[in-house]
Amino acid sequence: MQVPLYNQQGQEISQIELRDDIFGIKPNVAVMHQAYLRQMANARQGTHDSKTRGQVRGGGKKPWKQKGTGRARQGTTRAPQWKGGGVVFGPHPRSYEQKMPRKMRHLALKSALAAKAQENQIKVIDEITLESAKTREMKDILERLSARPSVLILMPEANTILAKSASNLPKVKTLRTGYLNVRDLLSYEYVLMSKAALSAVESFFDSVPTRAVSSGGGK
């Protein structure tokens, strides 16, 4: 699959080849969905907590005698029906972690990249060079590339100037290729990467064992 290669001025200077075994596969929607849910679940801290009737403070004395008052019998003011009482079936700390085989995770990434490529939502630029961190320059580059309204900028390595230049732009995120994930790929309309970032992405999949999961089945 060939896509245009742009320079910083937004001009198409040539064509560049995207590997068919990554960007040309049929996206597996089911695996992408599972990977997305897994990532969202694993991001949860699970620190929510509520106190049971045995954990709230007070309530050691019976509020009134058992009989003769005309009121319902009560054993403690910390019972769930009382204000300030314990919570029935409330949340408690737990782990939301979900596991997913490595080959399925890699297939989900490939499927997300392929979906972007087949929708012409991947922009490849020869390089992004900024002398200093200037939001205006970064905004002009994205506008010339028509990479709006939202774009994920992939970097082959940490680039403080580039990250600072894009940090104040709404719906723009910079991400190192080593942290590429399904959630970010699906959350932004366009993916912008340099030739170096593209090589880093392709090199990552070269280290992946032979896939045992079918790339088809998505609808």
Q: How many CB atoms neighbour CB 21 within 10 A?
A: 13
The range of the structural domain enclosing residue 139 comes to: 2-44+96-206
Residue 63 lies in a domain: no
Residue 212 lies in a domain: no
Residue 115 lies in a domain: yes
Residue 214 lies in a domain: no
Overall domain count for the chain: 1
As a whole number, the mean pLDDT across the chain is 92
The CATH number of the domain holding residue 109 is 3.40.1370.10
Q: Which helix (H) or strand (E) holds 143?
A: helix 135-144
In the structure, what pLDDT confidence band is assigned to residue 148 with cuts at 50, 70 and 90? Answer: confident
Residue 10 lies in a domain: yes
Residue 65 lies in a domain: no
Q: Can you give the pLDDT at residue 41? A: 97
Residue 108 lies in a domain: yes
Whether the CB-CB separation of 2 and 17 falls below 8 Å is answered with yes
User: What span, in angstroms and rounded, lies between the C-alpha atoms of 155 and 127?
Assistant: 10
User: What span, in angstroms and rounded, lies between the C-alpha atoms of 193 and 23?
Assistant: 14
Give me the helices (H) in 82-134, please.
Answer: 102-118
In the structure, what pLDDT confidence band is assigned to residue 1 with cuts at 50, 70 and 90? Answer: confident
Q: What is the pLDDT of residues 5-57, one digit of tens each?
A: 999 999 999 999 999 999 999 999 999 999 999 999 999 999 999 999 999 99
Residue 77 has pLDDT above 60, yes or no: yes
The predicted model scores a pTM of 0.82
Residue 219 lies in a domain: no
